[in-house]
Structure 1
Amino acid sequence: MLQELVIRNFAIIEKLNIEFNSGMTVLTGETGAGKSIIIDAVGLLAGGRGSTDFIRKGAKKTVLQGMFSLSKNSETLELLDQYGIDHADPTLILQREIQASGRNVCRINGSLVNTTILKQIGETLIDIHGQNEHQELMQADKHLGMLDEYARVEVQPLLKRYQTYFERYQTLKKKFDQKKAHEKEWVQRVDMLKFQVKEIEDANLQAGEEEQLNSEKEHLENFQKISTTLQAAQTVLESSDETSGAIDSTGEAMNGLREIEELDDNYKSISETISSAYYQLQDAASEISSELDGMEWDEGRLDQIEKRLEEIYQLKRKYGDTVEQILSYDDKVSTELHNMIDLESDEGQMGTQLGDLKTKLDKLAKQLTLARQKAAKQLKKDVHAQLKQLYMDKTEFEVHFDTSQPVKFKSTGVDSVEFYLRTNPGEKMSSLTRIASGGELSRIMLALKTIFAESQGVTSIIFDEVDTGVSGRVAQAIAEKIKLIASYSQVLCITHLPQVAAEADHQFFVAKVVKDGRTETKLTYLNKDGWVQELARMLAGSTVTKLSIQHAKELLKMAHRS
């Protein structure tokens, strides 16, 4: 139920705070006062299409906020859980800002959401019906969903089982059809994948191999320079027949300093430094000798390395920038090749699986059709009963199942359903979308809404001048239907009919005023006296008379006589 609505800078509304109650609430007032603007605000809050045109002139943004009492509507709770929106509190707060830049900011209980999520959740809370809309009723492709909603208990379990098998069938059939439709491309793809996998795997690449080869290649290419440099270093360090090497000279210095190191701490420090250098030079000489002993020029090895690097380079041109990327690509195409080969070998098995799934779908689809046909007969009786109360007792309603088209599995089954109508005896039954007038649509919609209201679980239903074009006893019948719906769900209703306004539990008067040179919408909650005055205005027009006031009081008394 919508408990509170806050509107800021929306169209001609600068600032409006409205508290709503359960039951039936009507909004009345002169044409153009802003009644429908309030409903537009609610629709926008529930995820309707937004536009910067809604922003009040001179404002930077429009802000809407609605507080709802959270019912136990399973669909609402499932969506909140699905999107991770906290709902520990029994209230649910929807917020929406439309900025002059066109940016939308939407929140549910403080959590940022996009307009799609806002619309999904908003539709479980608010159901808006306008005089020119009747969207579902005027769209034949929506009729099946309405029938399924009516027969929810019988149809939903069957429909869920059917849809599980339908998804499997669609997935498998898509693969099967793709293979059949592109048999040549399929074979070419398999051949190409086989070639690529063989080329990569024959190369026997190893992770880090390229870096290692480049290092070895650089070493071999600089063999002469390395050898000459090491030999020169060895000559400098070690003694020869003609001269003393750096090691022998350092050793002599070390021995000399040892003889005087006890005489002074400075001499001892110098002695230790020279000793350390002597042993490090010996270690270096040993390492140089070891390197020279291990060095061997192998021109054939350099050729091997260059050929291997060229092989890696050619593979990199085709499959990746590094050896690791080539190996990763190999894993990917190997998996694809494996799957395609499996599909080739399983083609017969796929056909068998498709046949089995089709048999199951056919069986469930027939069960769905039977359940729907049974529900359609009961819906026909219920609608006739409601239409009779709305003074359309000569009108015949039925749910038409189109059997002229070939059977085709769809996500909803195989049924093609449309509501048919005959408004006058002797005429042909025809599609409701083609023959119903505006007034008839309003009453048919109310009949269906009366039937569906209790089961649908929507917490707030809004009627925006759905009573236009009727009067007299039909207007009274419509008023009573709306009142009946309000016993299941909160109803907000814009009306120009006194009969409807009289049936309400609460009434707001909407007026247009000029403040500081600008037009604004003003909302007033009517007490009993104000209610009488407004009903009298609706009955009499611009001039309220004693007789119209008396008539208004009588109308209220009759409406609330229970």
Structure 2
Amino acid sequence: MLLNLHVKNFAIIDEVEVYFKDNLNILTGETGAGKSIIIGSINVALGGKVTKDIIRKGADYALVELLFQVEDKDVLTAIGELDVPLEDDQIIISRKIMNGKSICKVNGETVTTNVLKSIASLLIDIHGQHEHQSLLYKEKHLEIVDRYAKDYISDTKQKLEAVYKDYIEVKNKLNELKIDDDKRLREISFLEYEINEIRNAALKSGEDEVLGAEYRRLSNAKAISEGLGNIHGLMSNQESGSAGDQIGRSVKSLTKLVDYDSSITNFLNQIVDIESLVNDFNRELSEYLSDLNNSEEDFNSIEQRLDLINHLKSKYGNSIAEILKYCEESEKKLEEYNNYEDTILLLTQQQKKSEEQLNQLCEELSVIRQEKAKELTHKMKEALVDLNFLDVKFELVFRRLDYYTDNGFDESEFEISTNPGEELKPLAKIASGGELSRIMLAIKSVLADKDEIDTLIFDEIDVGISGRTAQKVSEKLSMISKNHQVICITHLAQIAAMADAHFIIEKTTDGITTKTSIRNLNETESIEELARILGGAVITDTVIDNAREMKELAKGTKKF
């Protein structure tokens, strides 16, 4: 569960810290107070998109930190497999945003946003504003049943994706090769020209780097020659006053002195060694200069070779390795064109085999989907009854596409009937905004039990509902919160009354800056907030009494 949220310099939030509770956490507040910003900060911390205005005006960075307590051993194992360090079954997630970049950390270790999203999918499910509208698109419906059935279809889907990839490659290859004879002969001629051009160049791996270095050296031969020539003059023993000349004189002087004192022999030996090193240095330097001064022919040869290599790079690849790979692929293609009939026959057989495998896997996937869809829709109907759809019929209708995809050949769509005697119709055609909200809540509740997601967040799941329906939604949220931590933003008193922990989000301004704050309400304050929601600007004793009664009724409901 989400234990703690710490937000700093985020949008209009200066700094807030929230300690969430088990069960049902309700967030209320005036319109524009920043309720959705709180949820938005959680979403950003879990790898969500960062916008330019996310950093509070005048601040250098924005920071969001989340503390989760994880008791599910399977979830901990899955998180550990992402190379995330685990500490006392707690996960601390932080994201710091600075100048368009962000640093994501989990338990102190820097991670990528992709890892962050993977962890988030194991810990929390966030229902954002307007997410229920995604149910208007039937593509979403197949995603829902696949999520419900993921433990049963994941292996089949992996195999399907691999076979589909092979199938498409063979199919594209066939389409590419199926050309008329004239075009095929032109293609053969063109391939032969390209292959000969590359093979005649006799390229060697890495030679462009070696030649490039030598080219740069020879391009600067004059500067190198002048610099080393000066050094040679300073070191040569043939130049009066040079280092070599001075060392030679020192050797002669020490040789004479040895006769007077044998201990001087040590100095003589050292200077002789130095003289030998200087002589070797001068000889090698002289040879280098000689080679450098006679390298014009080599320079021209290297330049021509590099020109050829760069010409081939401009046509066939950015490196010699890519050029040689292009040549190998062209040779393979040429062989296919030269053995055209055999190649077409082989590819046709491969396509047939891939199509048979593909059809079998698509059939397997479809059977599992339809079987699990029955379970899903049965649980959905139970959840929808809880949400005041009293005579609801709810089915997932499957249709077979006339082509294959990497997700099978199924197309599915939820169909619903909310009144006795009505035929089932596509969800998108008959469901209102309020109905879509409740249907999405039902889906979330069923999937949460299936996925064993610990924390569910709902940002205004109550859109478009009121009265008895709002009461049923509040009861459903309370029921869900018995097995999951629920955090919910609401504008409805019926839902707020069900809170096990009630937080108010408030906005204050001093005329210059605006700040959002959040605090946990006690029983009396919660009743006052319910009265504000019920009564608006004028809160009478009657409204207070109604709020208190609503709170007491909610407590009675939660006992069952």
Same-fold status (TM-score > 0.5): yes
Deviation at 1:536, TM superposition (A): 4.1
Give 1:414 deviation, angstroms: 0.6
| Cα distance in 2, alignment partners of residues 132 and 330 from structure 1 | 51
Q: In structure 2, what residue type is equivalent to 1:43?
A: N
Q: Deviations over 1:60-84 (max 9, x none)?
A: 22211112224548688657645x4
Deviations 1:125-154 (A, max 9, x none): 332224422254233212111011222343
Equivalent of residue 154 in structure 1, options 152, 156, 163: 152
Percent of residue pairs identical:
33
Q: Which amino acid in structure 2 is aligned with residue 94 of structure 1?
A: I
Query: What is the Cα deviation at residue 109 of structure 1?
Result: 3.0
Gaps of 5+ in 2: 212-254, 265-271, 273-296, 313-317
* Aligned mates of 1:465, 1:73 — CA distance in 2: 32
Residue in 1 aligned with 2:517? 522
What is aligned with 1:413?
408
Which aligned pairs between 1:223-242 and structure 2 lie closer than 5 A?
none
Q: CA deviation at 1:434?
A: 3.5
Q: Give the AA of the match of 1:410.
A: T
Q: 1:350 deviation in Å?
A: 2.9
Residue by residue over 1:288-335, the C-alpha shift from the partner in whole angstroms, topping out at 9 and shown as x without a partner, is: xxxxxxxxxxxxxxxxxx9x999998766434699xx99978854653
Between the aligned partners of 1:175 and 1:79, the Cα distance in structure 2 is: 41
Residues 59/176 of structure 1: CA separation in 2 closer, same or farther (3 Å cut): same
* Conserved 8 A contact 2:133-2:436: no
Q: Which SS does the other structure have where 1:380 is aligned?
A: helix
Structure 2 distance, partners of 1:189, 1:543, is 90
Q: SS at the partner of 2:404?
A: coil
**Whole-Å separation in 1 of the counterparts to 2:86 and 2:172:** 40
Partner of 1:560: 558
Q: CA deviation at 1:198?
A: 5.4
Give 5+ residue unaligned stretches, structure 1.
212-260, 270-275, 277-305
How many Å separate the matches in 1 of 2:11 and 2:303?
Answer: 67
**1:532 to partner: Cα distance:** 3.5
Question: Which structure has the larger Rg over C-alpha atoms?
Answer: 1
Q: 1:299 — aligned with what?
A: none
Equivalent residue in structure 2 for 1:466, among 440, 461, 468:
461
1:499–1:555 Cα contact (<8 Å) kept: no
**Contact between 2:504 and 2:520, CA under 8 Å: does it hold in 1?**
yes
Q: Which residue of 1 aligns with 2:432?
A: 437
- Which SS does the other structure have where 1:96 is aligned? strand
Using the alignment, how far apart are the partners of 1:495 and 1:483 within structure 2? 14
**2:94 and 2:105 in contact (8 A); partners too:** yes
In structure 2, the CA distance between the partners of 1:204 and 1:328, relative to structure 1 (3 Å rule), is closer
Residue of structure 2 aligned with 1:318, choices 303, 308, 322: 308
Please state whether the residue corresponding to 1:58 is helix, strand or coil.
Answer: coil
Partner of 1:137: 135
Alignment partners' CA distance in 2, 1:314 and 1:517: 70
Task: Indicate conservation of the 8 Å contact 2:390/2:418, yes or no.
Answer: no
- The code of the aligned residue for 1:376 comes to A
Tell me what 1:395 maps to.
Answer: 392
Q: How many residues align?
A: 472
What does residue 41 of structure 2 align with? 41
State the Cα deviation string for residues 146-165 of structure 1 (Å, max 9, x = none): 01122234333332332232
Instruction: State the one-letter code of the partner of 2:308.
Output: K
- TM-score if structure 1 supplies the norm length? 0.72
CA–CA distance in structure 2, aligned partners of residues 516 and 73 of structure 1:
51
The match for 1:127 is 125
Aligned to 1:240: none
Whether 2:370 is the aligned partner of 1:360: answer no
Provide Cα deviations, 1:215-240, integer angstroms capped at 9, x if missing partner.
xxxxxxxxxxxxxxxxxxxxxxxxxx
Q: Which amino acid aligns with 2:120?
A: G
Superposition CA RMSD, Å? 4.2
Equivalent positions of 1:75-474 (< 5 A) are 78=78, 81-82=81-82, 84-87=83-86, 90-99=89-98, 101-134=99-132, 136-180=134-178, 183=184, 186-196=187-197, 199-200=200-201, 265=259, 317-319=307-309, 332=325, 335-340=328-333, 343=336, 346-403=343-400, 406-425=401-420, 429-474=424-469
Is 1:54 the counterpart of 2:47? The answer is no
Instruction: State which drifts further: 422-431 or 101-110.
Output: 422-431
